[in-house]
Amino acid sequence: MIMLESNNEKISIETIKQFENENEVKLTEKYKQFLLQWNGGYPSASTFKISDEKGNSVINVFNGFGDMYDNLEKVINIYEYRLPNGFIPIADDSAGNVICLGTNESYYENIYFWDHEQESENPDDMSNMYFLANDINQFLSMLHASLEE
């Protein structure tokens, strides 16, 4: 089981509901549970495989709520017109790429890797998006401690 190191204060379901209302987004139940348990932070195992072609990457931090650099609302504002519609940035890697949660019906609950070096001007272009997992729990179970497979 992956552990996260986090000094972030615990949040309530009311905080999440307020976030959903203000950002007009519906978070998945599994992701809500993740936020309630950890509220972002640094994973104990952080390496994951993007694809055979792209290789591996390393999670820098999971975004959370509160007075922190990696505040989910602030990060959403940064990527608002850069990510394809229906995705929110839930984490980033050490190279400035983003791990996204699908929030619209087509991709709901899925976790994707967004490669900023292949960013398109078209917000519907998903050529720089790589499917990682069906949900946050599956993604967390894929994380491992080193680049060794």
pTM to 2 decimal places: 0.93
Q: Please state, in angstroms and as integers, the Cα–Cα distance from residue 3 to each residue in 39, 73, 141, following that order.
A: 12, 23, 11
Q: Could you identify the residue written with the tokens 């949040």?
A: 11
pLDDT, one tens digit for every residue, the chain (149 residues): 678 888 889 999 999 999 999 999 999 999 999 999 999 999 999 999 999 999 999 999 999 999 888 999 999 999 988 999 999 999 999 999 999 999 999 999 999 999 999 988 887 889 999 999 999 999 999 999 764 44
Cα(8)–Cα(37) distance, rounded to whole angstroms? 11
Q: Going along 72-128, which residue ranges are E strands? A: 87-93, 98-102, 111-114
Cα(18)–Cα(35) distance, rounded to whole angstroms? 14
* Amino acid identity at 20: E
